[in-house]
Structure 1
């Protein structure tokens, strides 16, 4: 007899996990990390404490999961960034980065980390090591691959990745932490990505 969970049970488990993550994010933002208990998260999520503890034995593990999922790049079904054409590849990456930064909850997640950082520095570590860093490394690997393919000359891919992502996030994302009404239009965002790509192409393109 198979011990593997059925498709139904897997779907139910995924739904409960999603409800827990949503409830936790909302409570962390409203009451702070320290002011939110796992018992309250279970109550708001509509699950038993046993169910929550089974998936997330500690509050730290739950926060780690929130960070990891927030930075997860979904497969849009579109083409992979081209390493043969630097401008086209960076354009693809740039627009996907915008989609990531403008996801509902991304600004709220950073606000939680910033507010709680003095008492819980491990939250900043989680945000950096499990969220931002893996994404940054994927862009650095792309630039290294473009260098190997001969479409770019990038001797320091980490530095180049920092430059590219910074040009986009400094316009699209970081102002939202201080300016709640910051919401540039689609044309302004597209221009920001295009200018970042042009700058990178001028500096590193062959």
Structure 2
């Protein structure tokens, strides 16, 4: 039986994995998914091909990992808020969503998917299945929990989750795909979140 890896070796492995994901994202964006080989990614990441292949045996597996990592909260706050205070819960989710959408690399990920969609529709499927939908489902489950707690009245939690996240992303994220210098200040972003919360409370609060 092999011994468990030490904390040092775990840290080194995590650092190499992060370097691989960063290098792959940049190469996919600069050169295209099809023209980027795993060998080029290994070279750009400063790791051996054996190290890369051990973690990511295929390019599709590597892209899946990029998607999953990009959509993780990554700050230890990904737990769904407890139901009971709709305004506070939505405000917390809204601020987390802003932090997620404005993380380095998120815009690049969407640009890769959009650029490669005609030839590699599986990239968009991965983005939807492994990234967006798990996050969306967490918001839907929160709204269902609030409904069970009696704080809201709604028939379609999926529609309500779409409305709330859409009010935020339509200002914070989507313009970034077209406008290179789109960077609203913190006060403007906070106002968008606050207004989205107020809209949801006005529409659905019991």
Q: TM-score category by the smaller chain? A: over 0.9
CA RMSD across the alignment = 1.4
> What SS class does the counterpart of residue 154 from structure 1 fall into?
coil
- Alignment TM-score, normalising by the size of structure 1: 0.96
Matches within 5 A, 1:67-78: 67-76=67-76
Question: Which one is further off, 150-159 or 164-173?
Answer: 150-159
Higher deviation after alignment, 80-89 or 43-52? 80-89
Structure 1 counterpart of 2:59: 59
| Residues 82 and 88 in structure 1, CA contact (< 8 A), matched pair in contact too | no
Provide runs of 4+ in structure 1 moved above 3 Å. 75-80
Partners of 2:76 and 2:55 in 1: how far apart?
27
Residue 194 of structure 2 is aligned to residue 194 of structure 1: yes
Q: Mapping of 1:75-86 within 5 angstroms?
A: 75-76=75-76, 81-86=81-86
Q: What is the distance in 2 between the residues matched to 1:48 and 1:134?
A: 32
Matched, 1:125 2:99: no
TM-score between both structures, scaled by the size of structure 2: 0.96
Q: What displacement does 1:165 show? A: 0.2
Question: Which stretch has the larger CA shift, 157-166 or 73-82?
Answer: 73-82
In structure 2, stretches of 5+ residues that fail to align are: none
2:107 & 2:10 partners in 1: Cα distance?
30
Greater alpha carbon shift after TM alignment, 72-81 vs 27-36? 72-81
Deviation for aligned residue 1:153: 1.1
Tell me the equivalent position of 1:180: 180
CA distance in 2, matches of 1:170, 1:81: 23
Aligned 8 A contact 1:86 1:201 in 2: yes
1:24-173 to 2 correspondences below 5 Å: 24-76=24-76, 81-173=81-173
CA distance in 2, matches of 1:80, 1:177: 28
Report how far residue 12 of structure 1 moved: 1.2
